[in-house]
Amino acid sequence: MRVIKILNNSLIMALDSDGKEVILSGKGIGYKKAIGYELDEKEVQKIFVLRERKVVRDVIRLASEVGEEYFNLTKAAISYAVDRYHMRLMDHIYLALTDHLAFTEKRLRSGMVIENFYTADLQRFNPEEYDVAQYTAGLFREKFGLELPEGEIGNIAFHFVNSQENAQSDERNRETDRIVQQILNIIRYQLELPSLEKGVAYSRLLTHLRLFVQRLMKNQTMEESGEDLLHQKVIEMCPREYGCVKKIGVFIRNSYDRDICKKEELYLTIHLHQILEEKGE
């Protein structure tokens, strides 16, 4: 493979034997390399095959914006997941998790903490992925001297839940994506939001919806915890959002013969409220 671009000491872009662009990672793989250098296979630890130009742009952007310590942390976390739990992970997690960790460090240093509502459910339903996330949090603490809050640990766990590669997982992911898109269509129509896919609030909603649908497919439900007063208060304060959640409930009932519990209604309503708030509505 021939080097065509040095991204950093751990990442380079190269052409494989078929002339296709690939991203190669390895310790010191980019150190003192020149364009046109022919790589030895022993120098390569991981190969990312680039199928879309957008992916190429994202990798170049990421490599120019973040230090290689984030890539190294990601590789250590993935090695732990593979060695301890034999997870088969899709390559995109290397980029997605690296980007997430770099952004998380910036947010924590600026005092910005994003809470979420699904960490306890991840810990309960995906204990292996949550353990990997806790291990990653330990590496993060050692490297940057920052303690990851529970919500961020949940976000890391979700990367590992959503990146596993096997036939059953692929089919489940396709079904999950299909149901999530149907729910998003309901939200777009009910809240009159054609440009929904932007902002932190949308990212949080999407994560919650995927976990919600996965629970739905496994016939698992959140435990009710006596939040009737809070539930009623949110309904009164967010009638537009709650009306949309009831429409989602009708879709779930008609399609899967199941009801959304009050706790799920509460969380979905709050997520939708945050989206409207972020959009200035």
Domain boundary among 106, 135, 161: 161
Q: What is the pLDDT of residues 11-59, one digit of tens each?
A: 788 888 888 888 887 788 888 888 988 888 888 877 766 666 666 677 7
pLDDT at 118: 64
Boundaries of domain holding 101: 68-79+90-161
The pLDDT, as a whole number, for residue 167 is 45
Q: What is the Cα 145 distance to its own chain's centre?
A: 23
Span 223-270, pLDDT tens digits: 555 557 777 888 888 899 999 999 999 999 988 888 888 888 888 998
pLDDT at 51: 61
Mean pLDDT over 149-178 rounds to: 78
Mean pLDDT in residue range 111-138: 81
Residue where the block lists tokens 């919600």: 212
Please indicate whether residue 152 or residue 204 has the higher confidence score (pLDDT): 152
Looking at the chain, the whole-number percentage of residues with pLDDT higher than 90 is: 21
Question: Of 4-8, 56-60, 155-159, 207-211, where does mean pLDDT reach its minimum?
Answer: 56-60
User: Which residues make Cβ contacts (< 8 Å) with residue 19, sequence separation at least 6?
Assistant: none
Number of domain units in the chain = 3
pLDDT (tens digit per residue) in 57-99: 777 777 777 778 888 898 899 999 999 999 988 777 887 888 8
Looking at residue 246, which CATH number applies to its domain? Answer: 1.10.1790.10
Q: Give the three-state DSSP class for 47.
A: strand
Residue 168 pLDDT greater than 60, yes or no: no
Same domain membership, residue 172 and residue 157 = no
**Residues 157, 173 within the same domain:** no
Please name the residue ranges forming H helices in the chain. Answer: 53-65, 68-85, 92-109, 119-125, 127-144, 150-161, 167-191, 199-217, 228-237, 239-256, 262-278
Is 56 part of any domain?
Answer: no
Q: List Cα–Cα distances, 180 to 28, 133, 214, 216, 217, in angstroms.
A: 41, 24, 10, 11, 12
